[in-house]
Amino acid sequence: MKGKFPIERLKSLKTPFYYYDTDLLRETLDTINRECSRHEGFCVHYAVKANANPKLLRIIRRAGMGADCVSGGEIEAALAAGFPADKIVYAGVGKSDWEINLGLDSDIACFNVESVPELEVINELAEKKGKKARVAFRINPEVGAHTHANITTGLAENKFGIAIRDMESVIDKAAAMNNVTFVGLHFHIGSQILDMGDFQALCNRINDLQTQLEKRRVIVESINVGGGLGIDYQHPNRVPMADFKAYFDTYAKRLKLRPGQTLHFELGRAVVAPCGTLFARTLYIKEGAVKKFCIVDAGMTDLIRPALYQAYHKIENLSSEEPMETYDVVGPICESSDVFAKQIDLNRCHRGDLIAIRSAGAYGEIMASGYNCRPLPKGYVSEEL
């Protein structure tokens, strides 16, 4: 089964380009809101780094989500799309002064602080402005995730977050500062996580930390568990949406929230990955010494995930119903890692065929680069075609 696309419309566009199915995006947002609202105190922020296309950001904002940003540029993008500042949270190990100042000037909801030196700088910059910054501490929970090594973030060896053993002392430090207010704890264990057991392990860790803090009568207003929910890259047509019910239910069941506490989620991939497709055209079919290559006009500059994380994307030839043949699908970039898939079956390919690289809505367009002096790919949404 192949995906359903407005082929006649798409045929007239210059490849490579991204195409976003906004009906699917809206359905996904509705499902998230429905499943999330079953639970008291749950709220979702969209992780802007997954895709900052302004058209998508506006649709996501209208669905009522907050924004999770990891740079000053993302705060600007979120504000430009109309996200209210009091729904913007800001994480990142290397916040520069202008980025912190932007967050302070905009009165964002919370800085997710990742080190003591960063806390000191936020306090200083806030003092200069006569402001009080709301801060949460990103704790490295030392919880693994069953996903690719490059996208685990919650292990002791990773650069992210504050070590568990420093949690109490950093909360004490904040309490002694005049221009920061401690509001909560933040965690994020990784991305493309399909095993709910990984999120359960995070819940267990947070329960322990909360018990520990309770003994010292520390009030924690909010808990932020980050994002990481994965999608089914193998079956984009049959399973076009992540299992949001299982995800929220896991937290509702395992995480012991205290009365009045809010629980924040930062979903990126699961919101936007399924609705995006990278379209390319076949340039050449090349019979190599040992295999056949389908050379397309999109490359790792347009979608780097396969080269960076050996990520799988389902690929379909939308122009052919001829018998299947086995190809390596490769781009034109002068790098051996510029490969979308090895030894996959496609309907026989010819020059000019329209190729769909599926589930590319997250960490696709936003990671595009100009390497080889290539132009950046355009992004089209279904409702404007």
Ligand X SMILES: *Cc1c(COP(=O)(O)O)cnc(C)c1O
The binding site for ligand X (CB under 6 A) comprises 47, 49-50, 68, 70, 91, 188, 191, 226-229, 266-270, 362
Q: Measured from the CB atom, is 59 or 339 closer to ligand X?
A: 59
Question: Given the complex with ligand X, which of 15 and 192 has the nearer CB atom?
Answer: 192
Q: How far is it, in rounded angstroms, from Cα 233 to Cα 194? A: 11
- Residue among 189 and 356 whose Cβ is closer to ligand X: 189
Query: Residue 276: which residues within 8 A CB-CB, separation 6 or more?
Result: 18, 19, 20, 21, 51, 359, 360, 361, 362, 364, 365
Q: Which residues are within 8 A (CB) of 338 and not within 5 positions of it... i.e. 6 or more apart?
A: 299, 300, 307, 330, 331, 332
The distance of closest approach from Cβ of residue 30 to ligand X in the complex, given in angstroms and rounded to an integer, is 18
Q: Are the C-beta atoms of residues 102 and 75 closer than 8 Å to each other?
A: yes
Nearer to ligand X, 15 or 140 (CB): 140
Q: Which residue has the tokens 């122009």?
A: 319
Instruction: Identify which of residues 65 and 362 has a Cβ nearer to ligand X in the complex.
Output: 362
Identity of the residue numbered 209? L
> How far is Cα 348 from Cα 321, in angstroms, rounded to an integer?
8
Give 325: exposed, middle or buried? Use CB within 10 Å, 0-12, 13-18, 19+.
Answer: middle
Structure-block tokens of residue 149: 């090594």
Residue whose CB is less far from ligand X, 145 or 296: 145
Q: 191 with 227: CB under 8 angstroms?
A: yes
- Measured from the CB of residue 63, what is the shortest distance to ligand X in angstroms? 16
Give the integer Cα–Cα distance in Å for 126 and 311: 41
Give min distance, CB of 176 to ligand X, in A. 26
Toward ligand X, which CB reaches closer, 162 or 318? Answer: 162
Q: How far is the CB of 98 from ligand X (least distance, A)?
A: 20
List the structure tokens of 20.
């976003």
d(CA 343, CA 345): 7
CA dihedral over 196, 202, 205, 210, signed as positive or negative: negative
**Smallest gap from residue 3 Cβ to ligand X (A):** 22
φ/ψ of 116, rounded to 5, equals -65, -45
The smaller minimum CB distance to ligand X, of residues 182 and 247, is found at 247
Pick from 23, 34, 36, 18: nearest CA to 267: 36
* Least gap, CB of 268 to ligand X (angstroms): 3
Cβ pair 210, 203 in contact under 8 A:
no
For the CB of residue 363, give the shortest distance to ligand X in the complex, in Å: 7
Nearest approach, Cβ of 137 to ligand X (angstroms)? 13
CA dist 150 and 310 (Å) reads 10
In whole angstroms, how close is the CB of 231 to ligand X at the nearest point?
Answer: 10
- Pick 5 or 46: Cβ nearer ligand X: 46
